[in-house]
Chain A
Amino acid sequence: MNNDWFKLLAIPIATIAVSDEVYAAEYLTVEQAQKLMFGETATFEKSYLRLDDATRNAIKMASRVQVERDVQPVWTVFDGGELSGYFVIDEVIGKHRYITYAIALSPQGEVKQVEILVYRESYGYEIRNPRWRAQFVGHKPGAVLTLGEEIKNISGATLSCRHITEGVSRVLATYDLLLKNP
């Protein structure tokens, strides 16, 4: 290795990025996420679940997560005439701004996959060292995801990841109340 590669560092700090500039990483469109999660041949029927006060309360009771929205878009997925699962787009606040993500549920309401679609944050690189990891795959509705329990807490999580964990809990409770055995 070239030993000089590190010497270009200026010793006094010169700030090179200004705070509060919004950074948006766009990973997948809705259509791309649908195909990646359910395959090229799947078909998607979009519907809007109306969440009235009573439903929001019931979701909150079941998931222990506050429900802000009154409409939840959900796609029912079919493949070869069979129910293949559900595709849900959801948003949670990250550290400061919204993260849009997609959840793929099996017909039985198990989490198959979680993909970030758009990650928006104030500019700056994520360099902290959170020490916990989330397990979403295989979570069944009815299970409340909480840090240190089903979602294993190693020693602290980023707010972004914690809020997605809560979002997944909320969506699973929504499935239980409104999608299971329709």
Chain B
Amino acid sequence: MTYSSKTLKRARPLLGTIVEIGVIPSTTESFAHEIIHRAFDSIELIHSLMSRFDPCSEVSQLNEMRIGEQMGVSTHVMRVMRTAFDVEQATLGAFTITPSAPRDILGSTALAIVASDSIKRIGMGSIDFGGIAKGYAVDEAIHVLKSSDIRTGYVNAGGDVRAFGEPHSVLVRNPEKLGESVVSIDLVDRALATSANYSIDQNTDQSGIILDKLEEKPVSSRASASVIARSCMVADALAKAVLIGRSKMSSVLERYDARGLVVQGGRIDTYPN
């Protein structure tokens, strides 16, 4: 990475991956450690609110509601919900937090925002923040660092990464040859997230078929899409949409002031192109 040896780095197992936080201390090292600790705390808070499998989380409670019921939610859940609905509309459902619910022209048929802090269940279908919460957790941790007088830092949650201050280099892997990286990107006050569809035979952590909601067929294997955006939440959400939609997502990327790159078949395609 491009940091000097002064960079303090810590890592914890969180968000189903190893989350790394690095900062250049603005004052003492012990103060910087304290700030990093607070940043990790903010990530744990987001998890506790948004985990679909923790019955106490707000997301679980939203999934428990009956049609017609509504509940108050935290500003965190509301922010993610608004962005998720926004990206879902813009990508015509290529990104969605309600994969099991049918979509109509107005968007989600499962949940609706009915007040600045309230969400109502209007139809069937559970929500899953899995494609956006990790990016938001990274944004929140960055916010903690920035508001604590740190001038250069980054948060990397297994490849959902955001950096501020000095440029932070990240490598994008070759989805067809996992030991290799194909491009290095210097992030300057930007976030990068990658959605990938690696094949099973390479002994990967997870492979999974990402279903193409626009074409109703599985996305071709061994491709990855990375999105660079101002916030990691938007990068996270758009990465999956770009993996599915490719050039169809160019105008969406422009709207969010984001850029996408797809690595597949020995080439890199960038969007908007």
Q: Which residues of A contact B (CB under 8 A)?
A: 1, 6-7, 9-20, 25, 27-28, 36, 95, 99, 101, 113-116, 119, 122-137, 148, 152-161, 164-165
Contact = CB atoms under 8 A, between A and B. Distances in A.
Contacts of B261: 6, 9
Main secondary structure of the interface of A (DSSP, over half): loop
B11 to A, nearest CB: 4
B160 to A, nearest CB: 8
B9 A124 contact: no
Across the A-B interface, the 8 shortest Cβ-Cβ residue pairs:
A19-B179, A156-B206, A152-B53, A132-B16, A127-B159, A116-B11, A131-B130, A125-B171
B120 interface: no
Point out which of A7, A13, A133 has the most chain B C-beta atoms below 10 A from its C-beta: A133
- Which size bracket describes the interface of B in this complex? 35 or more
Contacts, number: 193
B10 A115 contact: yes
A99 B12 CA distance: 11
Contacts of A164: 13
A18 B173 contact: no
B23 interface: no
Given A125-B173, A126-B17, 11 more contacts: A11-B269, A15-B180, A15-B182, A27-B11, A113-B12, A125-B159, A129-B236, A130-B16, A158-B205, A158-B206, A161-B18
Contact of A16 (B52, B53, B181): B181
A145 B16 CA distance: 13
Interface in B154-189: 156, 158-160, 170-174, 177-184
Nearest to B60: A152
Contacts of A99: 18
